[in-house]
Amino acid sequence: MKHELAMQAALVDTARPVTQLHWGGDTPTFLSHGEMRELMAATAKHFALVPNERAEYSIEVDPREASAETIALLRELGFNRLSLGVQDFDERVQCAINSIQPRAMMETVLHAAREHGFKSVSVDLIYGLPNQSVESFTRTLDAIVGMRPDRVSVFGYVHMPALFKMQRQIDEDALPELAVRLAILERVIECMSDVGYVYISMDHFALPDDELTRVLDAGTLQRNFQGYSTHANCDLDRHRRVVCLSARSAMCTRRTRAISKATRRASTAAGSLSCAAYASAPTTACAATSSCTSCAAACWISPRSSAPTASSSVRRSGTNSRTSRRWPTTA
């Protein structure tokens, strides 16, 4: 990864400040504390990280792999937003997807995040999982709103066992019917609105004083293939994937090991570049299935001018949490 960071740094103006940074891929917290320190130090060596008051540095956290000490370390490293994957608190649902996560575990991480001064904590839920019902999911919602996270994302599960081998372990007869899924979504919107959350749209909810709500009220909230953006004027730099969005919103994506300067110049000349480096950490066996996942780092680099770019691509950050790769969703 150090070598890859150096490669990508050679392709961008590293004097431009990194206002947003995200470690994702579901389980970056499987890295040891030493590896996290080493990765952040390597990132700071090649890119211009900014002070906390100007930064939006987020990380996806699996509560099963994050102790209070881990949360303290993440804050020390500069992260100020957390995204917590919960899915559902119902024990029958957790057993069905082999992802056991007691409520107390989630509360410990949330308390630690607040104690150490994280700006925002978001929670990911998934509806449409086996054994879910309107009543059972309502109990999960009640527990979540009682914790009062800054943002809540509720994604719809998509069952595609032909594409995802791990999903073949799921009992299809236990999946809720379409009518039940729609009723759960209706209940989510009703419940979240009743307790004071703002319905951002689609799958996101936020407290009235959250940045996501403020940019929505200001009319500057944007959404693209990666989620909601509160920093639409930033260019995205992401290891091993080139993404170009034209002014007409046409999108083409190509996997690549390195981004050539020629490709970058050509895309920039077309006025459509929003591309970057996507760094994979060593894979680890997924705690919930026999599959494996990888963690990814993405950096958002501020534009040279304050004017918004013709097309900006942003990663769904702690600002906009993305759910686990284990359970594909409609998001």
Local confidence band at 19 (pLDDT 50, 70, 90 cut-offs): confident
For residues 169-196, average pLDDT: 96
Q: How confident is the model at residue 209 (pLDDT cuts 50, 70, 90)?
A: very high
Confidence at 223, pLDDT banded by 50, 70, 90 = confident
Is the pLDDT assigned to residue 312 strictly greater than 90? no
How many residues are recorded in the chain?
Answer: 331
Question: pTM score, two decimals?
Answer: 0.69
pLDDT confidence of residue 81: 92
Q: Between 258 and 142, whose confidence is greater?
A: 142
Give the pLDDT confidence of 239-296 residue by residue, as tens digits: 433 222 222 222 222 333 333 333 343 333 333 323 233 233 332 223 233 233 333 3
The topology under which CATH files domain 2-301 is Transcription Regulator spoIIAA (3.30.750)
Q: Where are the domains of the chain?
A: 2-301
Can you tell me the distance from the alpha carbon of 290 to that of 311, in angstroms, rounded to the nearest whole number? Answer: 39
Mean pLDDT (whole number) for 83-100: 93
Other CB atoms closer than 10 Å to residue 65's CB: what's the count?
Answer: 15
Span 310-323, mean pLDDT? 34
For the chain, what is the mean pLDDT? 75
Nearest to 205 by CA among 189, 219, 218, 225: 189
Residues 137, 155 contacting (CB under 8 angstroms): no
Rg (CA), the chain: 19
